[in-house]
Copies of this chain bind each other. A is one copy, B any other.
Amino acid sequence: MKKQEWNERVELIEKALVEHLGEKTALSSTLCDSMKYSLTAGGKRLRPILLMAAADAVGARGLDFMPVACAMEMIHTYSLIHDDLPAMDNDDYRRGKLTNHKLYGDGMAVLAGDALLTQAFEVILRQENVAPEVLVQVVREISIAAGPNGMVGGQAIDLESENKRIPMEELKKLHMGKTGALFRASLRCGAILGGADSEQLEKLTTYAESFGLAFQITDDILDVIGDEAEIGKPVGSDERNNKSTYVTLTSLETAQKLAQEAVDEGVAALDGFGEEAVFLQDLLKSMLNRKK
C-alpha cells in the first residue's frame, strides 16, 4: 500500500465510522454529538489500517472488513475519552482539540465512551459475508483484548503506577495491555477474517507483538528527542514526571537498540508472505523514523 492508498483508506474509514454511528435513531442527540466529536477528531486510524492490511497479507481484500475495522477504532476512541477524564490523565487537549469531557462534561464523556464500546460490538455484527463461527471468534478476540486482561488491565496498571518507577516487567505488562492488546487483536482479526491458516495467524501475531513493542519504545524515545511542535507536548516530560518508560528505565541507546530489535523481529516474521505483506513490513520499519 502506497501513501496515496493509505490516505484513500483513511478517508473510507472516516466515512464508514460516521455511517456506523447512525445518529438519526439515537435517544439522546447530545450523546450522539459527543460520540461523533471524538470519533471524527482525527488520528492515524492505525488499528483499522492494520486490520485491513492483515487481511490483505493473507490474500483477502482488506476493504471487505470495514465494519470490524471501524469497531476497532470505536474501541480505541472510547479508551481515549475515558483516559482523558479528570479521574484518569486529566487532559484538556488531544490532537490540538479540546478533549471530550472539556466540551460535553465529565458525565457525558463517560457515557460517550460507554456507548462507543458497546456499539462497537453491534458494528462487528454488521460484517457481512463472514460465517457466524468466524464472527464469534472475532468478538472473542476483541472482547479479551479490550478487557481486564488486555487494554483495561493495562490502563489499571498505568493508573496505579502514576508518579512512581515500576520494574521493567511491569512496564511491559502495562503496554502489552494498554496499547499492545488492541494492535494484536486488529492484526489477528484481519487475519482471521481473511481466512488465515494457523501458521499465518501465528506469524501475524508475532508481527503484531513486535509492532506494539516498537510503537511504545519509539513513543518513549520521541519524548526525549522529538520535536515539541510535532509531538504536541514538551520534550522530556516523562523524565520530569518521574514516569517509567523504556528510556527512563534503561537509556536512550538501549531503547533505540530494543526498538531496532523489535522491528527486525516483526519484519522477519512476515518473510514468506510475499508482496502482499510489504506494506506491513514497511510500516513497521517506518517506526524507527517516527516524528510523532
Contacts and interface: CB of A to CB of B under 8 A. Distances in A.
A234 interface: no
Contact of A30 (B78, B106, B156): B156
A78 B152 CA distance: 14
Given A27-B154, A135-B132, A153-B27, A159 B107 contact: yes
B106 A27 contact: no
Interface in A69-108: 78, 82, 85-88, 101, 105-108
A88 B30 CA distance: 15
Interface residues of A, number: 56
Contacts of A132: 131-133, 135-136
Interface in A111-131: 111, 113-115, 117-119, 121-122, 125, 131
Contacts of A233: none
Interface stretch (A46-54, A137-145, A207-215, A244-252): A137-145
A157 interface: yes
Contacts of A177: 27
A124 B143 CA distance: 10
A186 interface: no
A277 interface: no
A113 B144 CA distance: 15
Nearest to A154: B27
Contacts of A25: 149
A117 B115 contact: no
Contacts of A150: 27
B136 A28 contact: no
A143 B114 contact: no
Given A82-B114, A111-B159, A114-B82, A31 B122 contact: no
A103 to B, nearest CB: 14
A153 B26 contact: yes
20 contacts: A27-B156, A27-B157, A28-B157, A31-B152, A31-B156, A82-B114, A85-B110, A87-B105, A87-B107, A87-B109, A88-B110, A108-B156, A111-B155, A115-B147, A115-B153, A117-B118, A119-B148, A121-B121, A125-B140, A135-B136
